[in-house]
Amino acid sequence: MTKIFVAILIFLTVWLQYRVWFGKNGQQQLASLQIKIEQQKKQNKILATQNEKLKREIFILRHKPEALEEKAREQLGLIKQGEIFYRIIPSENNQ
């Protein structure tokens, strides 16, 4: 009787250990999820930094009209009426 009881306890111990280490929601999956969480935190930091830069740019564009004009000239190539636009193309020296 005790041999059967010991065998059952050993089986249950081995089975529970297997489930803890390799089963669903086990240690391997936990370690994998922790790595994914760290990667996501890094990505979130990068995106938060980009968001802050964009918020500053939006603030500047809303409150400083000269910045808006500069962006329009720079990115869209806009010029004021009566201005002359010169485009200088650098020459390529094949040396």
**Residue 93 lies inside a defined structural domain of this protein:** no
Structure tokens at 30: 């936990």
**Residue 24 lies inside a defined structural domain of this protein:** yes
Domain boundaries, position 6? 2-76
Taking the model in full, what pTM does it have? 0.55
Residue keyed to tokens 């190539």: 77
Structure tokens at 44: 């979130």
**Residue 89 lies inside a defined structural domain of this protein:** no
Please, which contacts does 51-54 make with residues 24 or more away whose CB atoms are closer than 8 Å? none
**Residue 35 lies inside a defined structural domain of this protein:** yes
Q: How confident is the model at residue 49 (pLDDT cuts 50, 70, 90)?
A: very high
In this prediction, residues 49-64 reach a mean pLDDT of: 94
**Residue 90 lies inside a defined structural domain of this protein:** no
Percent of the chain with pLDDT over 90: 31
**Residue 39 lies inside a defined structural domain of this protein:** yes
Total domains, the chain: 1
